[in-house]
Structure formats: structure tokens, C-alpha cells
Amino acid sequence: MRQLYPLFEPYEEGKLKVSDLHTIHYEQSGNPNGKPVVILHGGPGGGSSPLYRQYFNSEKWRIVMFDQRGCGKSTPYAELRENTTWNSVADIEQIREYLNIEKWVVFGGSWGSTLSLAYSQTHPDKCLGLILRGIFMLRQKELHWFYQSGASYIFPDAWEEYLKPIPIAERDDLILAYYTRLTSEDRDIRLEAARAWSVWEASTSKLIPSEKSIKRFGEDEFAEAFARIECHYFVNKGFLETENQLLERCDRISQIPGIIVQGRYDVVCPVITSWELHQAWQQAEYIIVPDAGHSVSEPGIVDALITATDKFAD
């Protein structure tokens, strides 16, 4: 089993103003002359983590990482205005041009896989390859499974906590009920909803739940941006033109080398979604990790992703 590379620090951090409202925080690490890769974090609203650098050999990769609009170190925090999938696609291109990178590998998991597909299908000529994990395509059946009825059958104890902020009369559409609270003028109402929403995801992400992850996701600052931005995207159906847009446009990436890594017991983004992507994009290598859930940090996922990044580096 491959292990994470030792943690290394960025050689550059900066701010890039991408609109009159939004400023993006970015960093570069690894080898300035290495193969460029951009890391697209999950959520949306999850922000970047130093952990992501450790999936790459610092001698071979030039690693670009940034916090998407409204989260991490980007400003304004938890902002929903001018915050769509296509704003993020434009931001990725703006960062690439700003850093004078001709082409790069795109690495993303969960929502990061959604954004990776949207970006690569819009700018296939800028992509050297795709490494995707825990596939999420923001379709109604995926949202219904995790936020309305499905995952609740596997984690009824965590589901009970998720339901608490929502009155019984509003539980027929939980995403909408949460959106109402997450956009409330009352900060106490927003934070109660944000904590419950975020802890639900943390409670279900790993094959063996992690109390450390649950605690982090329940912290006010992280939870507010994470829950607000996620729910904003979900209510707006990902700002996609059609529900199956990302599947229907796989012909645009057919010539891009790709690797799909999926945990067999992923409850957040069930394996069927990655399977359907594999059917539409058969040129990509498809790996099901037999003893993993959704989290990027599970041993089998770590092994598969580092094997993939080493393969692409060479």
C-alpha cells in the first residue's frame, strides 16, 4: 500500500481578484519546473487542505491549489452571490493564465470531480489528464439518495441528528428546508443548520467514522461556508444546463487520459455514479477500492490516488 508523501510547504501563496466581489486564495508547491497539476477541492465550500499536497511527489509535480469562491482563505467568506459552477470554471482558467501554465493535469474528488468534469469538458485543450475520485455529478437521484432518502437507511443514528433542525412539516424537501435556514438573517438559525448539515456528511464519509472529522465539520466557521455553499449549489441543480450534462458531454474528454478511483462502500457518492461515468468515458482507467468509503484519506483510496499521480508524473 502506498503511503502519503511527507508534508511540504508552498513556495508561493497569493491572492487573485477574479471579480469585483470575489478574491481567490491560491498556492503553488512542489517543483516549479515539474508537471503542472491543479487540485479542485470538494464541497463545494470545503476549502483546500495541506493534506492534498501529500498525494504528489514534490520533485516531479508543480502543484497548484486554490480555495474556491466563498470558502477557505478566499473572500468574501460564505458568499453565495456570483458563486456558480461556471464562475469556478472561469476562475480555474484565470488562474492557469495568471500562472502562465499552458496545460495541466486536473485532480478532484467528490464535488471536485464534478468541477473537474465541467472544466475539462469546457477546456479539453488545456488538460493533460484527469484523476478523479468519489464521483459526483449533481443529479437529482444523487441528491435525493444522500439528503432525502437512501443513506438514512445505513446511518439512521446520524440521520436523526441531521433531521433535528427541520420541523416534521418541512421534511418532504429537506434540501429546500435547509436552504431556508442557511440563508436566514438570524445567525443562530444559520449555524444550527450548518452544523447539522456538515456533521451529517462527516458522519458518513468514511467506512469507519472519524470523530476527528466529525468535530472539524461541526465547527462554526467551517460549517457555515460548507453548508451554505453546498446547499446553494444543490437548490440550483449545480447550475447545469441539463441533469445529465456531464455524462452527455464525455465525448469532449474522450482523448484525455483519465483515472477514476471509487470506494466500493461510498455512501455519500455511491458507486453507481462512477460506474455510469465509466460507461460514458470508457477510455479512462476505472478502479474500485474494495474496502473504502468516500474519504480521500482512507488507506485504499490513498494507495490508488498516489499510484495514479506517480503514473501521470512519469
Active site residue 294: yes
Instruction: Count how many residues are written for the chain.
Output: 314
Active site residue 19: no
Q: What is the pLDDT of residues 103-137, one digit of tens each?
A: 999 999 999 999 999 999 999 999 999 999 999 99
Q: What is the pLDDT of residues 159-172, one digit of tens each?
A: 999 999 999 999 99
Structural contact between residues 27 and 66, judged by C-beta atoms closer than 8 angstroms: yes
Active-site residue among 88, 110, 116, 198?
A: 110
Instruction: Report the distance separating Cα 109 and Cα 148, nearest Å.
Output: 22
Q: What is the pLDDT of residues 203-248, one digit of tens each?
A: 999 999 999 999 999 999 999 999 999 999 999 999 999 999 999 9
- How high is the pLDDT of residue 114? 98
Q: pLDDT grade, residue 271 (50/70/90)?
A: very high
Phi–psi pair at 207, nearest 5 degrees: -55, -45
User: Average pLDDT over the chain, rounded to whole?
Assistant: 98
pTM, two decimal places:
0.98
User: 211 forms bridges with which residues in the sheet?
Assistant: none
The radius of gyration of the chain's CA atoms, rounded to the nearest angstrom, is 18
Q: What is the mean pLDDT of residues 250-263?
A: 98
Q: What is the pLDDT of residues 35-73, one digit of tens each?
A: 999 999 999 999 999 999 999 999 999 999 999 999 999
Active site residue 110: yes
- How high is the pLDDT of residue 183? 98
Q: pLDDT grade, residue 282 (50/70/90)?
A: very high
Active-site residue among 48, 198, 294, 295?
A: 294
Q: What is the pLDDT of residues 64-86, one digit of tens each?
A: 999 999 999 999 999 999 999 99
- How high is the pLDDT of residue 231? 98
- How high is the pLDDT of residue 199? 98
- How high is the pLDDT of residue 71? 98
Containing H/E element for 98? helix 85-98
- How high is the pLDDT of residue 57? 98
Q: What percent of the chain has pLDDT over 70?
A: 100
Mind listing the domains of the chain with CATH numbers?
A: 12-139+239-313 (3.40.50.1820), 141-238 (no CATH)
Active-site residue among 29, 116, 266, 278?
A: 266
Question: Which DSSP symbol is given to 67?
Answer: P
Instruction: Report the distance separating Cα 96 and Cα 226, nearest Å.
Output: 25
Q: What is the mean pLDDT of residues 144-167?
A: 98
Q: What is the mean pLDDT of residues 196-205?
A: 98
Structural contact between residues 64 and 99, judged by C-beta atoms closer than 8 angstroms: yes
C-alpha cell of residue 7: 508534508
